[in-house]
A and B are shown apart, each in its own frame.
Chain A
Amino acid sequence: MDSDDEYMSALSSEDDIALDDSDNDDLSGGEEFDFDDEPPDLGIQKDDSQKKRAAYDISFKVYRPQDIQKQQDDLINEVNMILDIRKEEAAILLRHFRWNKERLIEDYMDKPRQVLEAAGLAQNGAKPPRLETIPGFVCDICCEDAPGLQSFAIKCGHRYCVDCYRHYLAQKIKEEGEAARIQCPSDGCNLIIDARSLDILMPSDLTERYHTLLNRTFVEDKETLKWCPAPDCQNAVECGVKKKDLDKVVPTVQCACGYRFCFGCILSDHQPAPCELVKRWLKKCADDSETANWISANTKECPKCNSTIEKNGGCNHMTCRKCRHEFCWMCMGLWSEHGTSWYNCNRFEEKSGTEARDAQAKSRVSLERYLHYYNRYANHEQSARLDKDIYVKTEKKMVQLQKESGMSWIEVQYLNSASQALQTCRQTLKWTYAFAFYLARNNLTEIFEDNQKDLEMAVENLSEMFEKPVADLADAKLKVDIMDKTSYCNKRRIILLEDTANNLANGAWTFNVDFMTPTTTSGSSSRR
């Protein structure tokens, strides 16, 4: 293998691997690669900030648990210095302002007293909290009055014995999952217990849980941070795309764990379809609104009693089971008027039935249109699910291939790349069908459909090659072919995404529903 070295060096990006190879080797399907002279930086959302970003590619940053902690600490330290308040108070204020440092500082400079009060902090100046033993003290929670009872109070002065305080905190933290906003135990007092007091009171076994909860509220409070939804992943992703931008961009991000998801709606990657459209499509597919369509496309109503009737074979002479009305299935007219032509309806042109037939035809077309898109959507979804199995098989194949052909681990990585390309491309294809369902026809749609067709063909081609038996895979020519196809698939996907994202950003698409005004779900004006 003459390209081994490049293989190694470019391993971080599977797309680059394949591209490099296609440049070096003489290819069978070479004419498909006439855009190969472009720099190979189109390769997916790797963190290459110096290169210009593609329209579908948005900037984001992944935070690991320790980064989340550090970010909080930095903010707290900053506020601590600027406003000259204690760190634990800075933390409470920041949480109150949902970690919007600028607004906190501005408001605090303006009216410190109100800000402190609203955040559940009493006026400054009181001495730092500590445990005290006060003669004659009776705890209002447990009613204990033993002499020497240790007691504690935050700045509001509501004093309780230390056991009750600890019990209260344990319950809030352990059972209710509360951390950042635990209030004074007194009825109606909304003062928040600060971190310093918590440090004094908290049993050590709760500390970890407490900090986890604090981190959680930090991410949940910040609009620009979201948890990676992948199971067991503890990372958060930061992205600047706002809710109001979601009609212009599909903010797909990729966590360090590898999971790709939409920052806007936390569903898994649904490029090129915008969030609102996705929501609608999923709802449409989930409701049985289509059942009604099926009924109208496959049944007729008895002209007399309006019972719904499905014709399941037999001749056109219908007798309603309910009202015994006899009519013709073809023209919906009275059967008695058919005279002697029992098995043929020759009254088709008559006006009485025309209107009913028109309504029927319309509904049938709409159903077929939906099913056209749905079937393809569902097909790619299913294939994507199967891809997960394939991935497992791929790993086995790779091991087997290594054994049988004496190739090194690195030399069989192309199968992994192919498998990944299949998965991402299928995911994209799946959503192109939901997207297309809502597109109104124009020139842009034709370009879109061409792109869709090209990607689909590329994917099916690769998919077919990919499933060949291991013995064939060892063939050097097939290997090159697979690598070419992999890179071609990725390219086609990027071309499609570029095109859709650009048009979306420019507001160039025309949709047949008005979903870009993200108000109520009652987009009842929807035409199909």
Chain B
Amino acid sequence: MASQKRIQKELAECTRSPPPGMSIALASESNLHKWHVVLQGPPNTPYAGGTFGLVVTLPVEYPFKAPAVTFATRIYHPNVTNDSQGSICLGALKPENWKPASKLLGVLEAVRALLVEPMPDDPLEARIAEEYKADRKEFEKNARAYVARYAKGQPKFDGEAGGAEAAKS
């Protein structure tokens, strides 16, 4: 499959020089289509001090179809669903915006940027977005509480929906 070469190259790039505060590894050595990313909460944000797990799933049609990125760690954020799914609303991953030449490195950077600056006008959790806009203090307090509760220590990836959804290579 032609995509193997491309994924291998991207994986090598990402592991060699990952975005700040991230480390990247395959979920299992035999499957190139599922990546586990560990993300340190960016400094000067309510997420600082937290360690978040991200799961990157590459579809079989990658790079012609966009990858899917989800949080394996619960996070209090306007653009991430406040549940065990941890779905992210990211413009670059929408089918109309994804281009085959887009790179995962860029996607991961976009996720990190979302933690630094949430986009409350394009929310997935309307209530949290409202709070972010109207009462920043309360939002930060809640976000920190989530970090203290869920994002301490090494992230667990087993919580997420596992092998069934993973693309076969």
Contacts and interface: CB of A to CB of B under 8 A. Distances in A.
Interface of A: 140-144, 158, 160, 163-164, 167-168, 171, 176, 183-189
Contact of B9 (A143, A164, A188): A143
A160 B2 contact: no
A140 B101 contact: yes
Interface residues of B, number: 17
Contact of A187 (B5, B61, B95, B99): B99
Contact of A144 (B5, B63, B103): B5
B63 to A, nearest CB: 6
Given A142-B3, A176-B95, 9 more contacts: A141-B63, A141-B100, A143-B6, A164-B100, A171-B65, A185-B101, A186-B99, A187-B102, A189-B99
Contacts of B99: 183-189
Nearest to B102: A187
B3 A187 contact: no
The 4 closest A-B pairs by CB, nearest first: A187-B102, A142-B2, A143-B6, A143-B5
A144 B61 CA distance: 16
B5 A185 contact: no
Nearest to A165: B100
Most central of A143, A168, A183 by chain B CB within 10 Å: A143
Interface of A is mostly: loop
B11 to A, nearest CB: 12
Contacts of B102: 187
Contacts of B63: 141-142
Contacts of A167: 64, 100
A144 B101 contact: no
Interface in B1-37: 2-3, 5-6, 9
B43 interface: no
Contact of A171 (B3, B5, B61, B103): B61
A5 B124 CA distance: 71
Contacts of B103: 187
A160 B101 contact: yes
B106 interface: yes
Contacts of A142: 2-3, 5-6, 63
A163 B9 CA distance: 19
B6 A141 contact: yes
Contacts of A140: 101
B101 A187 contact: yes
A168 B98 CA distance: 11
Contacts of A144: 2, 5
Given A185-B101, A187-B103, A163 B2 contact: yes
Nearest to B106: A187
Contacts of B64: 167-168, 171
A158 B101 contact: yes
A165 to B, nearest CB: 9
B93 to A, nearest CB: 12
25 contacts: A140-B101, A141-B100, A141-B101, A142-B3, A142-B6, A142-B63, A144-B5, A160-B100, A160-B101, A164-B100, A167-B100, A168-B64, A168-B100, A171-B61, A171-B65, A176-B95, A176-B96, A183-B99, A184-B99, A185-B100, A185-B101, A187-B99, A187-B101, A187-B106, A188-B99
Interface string B127-158: 00000000000000000000000000000000
B67 to A, nearest CB: 13
A184 B102 CA distance: 12
A143 B100 CA distance: 12
A141 B101 CA distance: 5
